[in-house]
Amino acid sequence: MIGILFTGGTISMRIDPATGSAVPALSAEDIVAQVPELPRIADFEIEEFGRLPGPHVTPEHMWRMARRAAAWLERPDVDGLVVTHGTDTIEETAFMLDLLMTTDKPVVLVGAMRTVSDPSWDGPGNLIAAARVAAAPVARGCGVVVVMDEHIFPAREVCKMHTESSGSFATPEFGPLGMVDGGEVVFRRWPMPRPKWQSQDAEPGIRVRRLETRVDLVQAFTGMTDRPLRHAIADGAVGVALVAFGRGNVPPSIVPAVRDAVAAGVLVTVSSRSLAGRVSARYGYDGGGRQLRDAGAVLSGDLSGAQARLLQMVTLGYTAGDANDAAALIHAFQ
């Protein structure tokens, strides 16, 4: 038996005739009624967790979702879980759930790029594919995945590449884990390992007792000053995920601010705005990745800025705010 946790997104929307715009409208029961094939795939139970558009999701909401999902999967009669979600932030929630949850049972996030009002509504097809993956024994142990357009994407790598296309999701560097082909769940590769650590006082199925959500994201841009970074620190951020150029390089004007932030006990990670590849200390000029590393920033491998921010929230929660210990966990995660 699988659970289906409905949290919102375009899959639950219709076009408002008065405005011509998509708005939340469908209940969990409404959506399931549009997918009569589901009972032939697996026995299932449903729960309506919310009807949030993707941009309304917060880290606190992800935390509550992870705890609810873990409770579902602690049940011995539940073999896997499907979570419907808005596609604008499905990448972040998938990654956060993958970090937080310890289960080996399949957890599958799914959404839609079209509403029920559109003739090309992709919600039913995506939900069917997601249910097949959640019910498949071969998916056990693969961590949290996103299933869209019959492709299976790992939480760590999935990216929304297009604003509207039904084929919006991809893994730019390595391709999908597999696919749902003619009703069969096929895996061609396996995702990278997830963290192994777990707080002793955490709830069953959850890796940490709390999140540290005071982590900001700062995007490097040409000609920037150190003002955005210093403002984040002055505003109380205990972590900053810095999105750099290319291999992990920034305008030299912000390096002193990075150095000061680290000296003040703030965790700083460096990611790239590029869609593929890793950051490194390859460049040694002023503002280069080597200088950032020497200033105490953590080069976060192939993680995006959004992922590095969420990973900071989890590791800082695990280490009770100790930036050095959190940095060590981030290094080990890569």
CB atoms within 10 A of CB 100: 27
Give the whole-angstrom CA distance, residue 93 versus residue 141: 18
- 163 is a catalytic site residue: no
- Dist CA 140 CA 134 (whole Å): 8
**Under a CB-based contact definition with an 8 Å cutoff, are residues 259 and 230 in contact?**
no
Output the CATH code of domain 215-333.
3.40.50.40
- Residue from 10, 84, 93, 171 carrying the catalytic annotation: 10
Q: Provide the CB-side half-sphere exposure for 302 (13 A, CA).
A: 14
pLDDT digits (tens, 9 = 90+) for 236-292: 999 999 999 999 999 999 999 999 999 999 999 999 999 999 999 999 999 999 999
**Model pTM?**
0.97
Looking at residue 196, what is its pLDDT?
Answer: 87
Right CATH for 2-187 from 1.10.357.10, 3.40.50.300, 3.40.50.1170, 1.10.1040.10: 3.40.50.1170
Residue-range domain boundaries for the chain: 2-187, 215-333
**Domain 2-187 matches domain 215-333 at the CATH topology level:** yes
Q: What's the confidence (pLDDT) of residue 334? A: 79
* φ/ψ of residue 296, rounded to 5: 105, 0
- The per-residue pLDDT for 280 is 97
pLDDT at 193: 87
Token pair listed for 129: 């594919």
DSSP letters along 123-178, please?
HHHHHHHHHHHHH-GGGTTS-EEEEETTEEEETTT-EE--SS-TT-EE-TTT--SE
Q: Which residues of the chain have pLDDT under 70?
A: none
| Cα–Cα distance list, 184 to 4, 50, 53, 93, 167 (Å) | 20, 30, 31, 26, 20
- The pLDDT value recorded for residue 333 is 86
3-state secondary structure of 290: helix
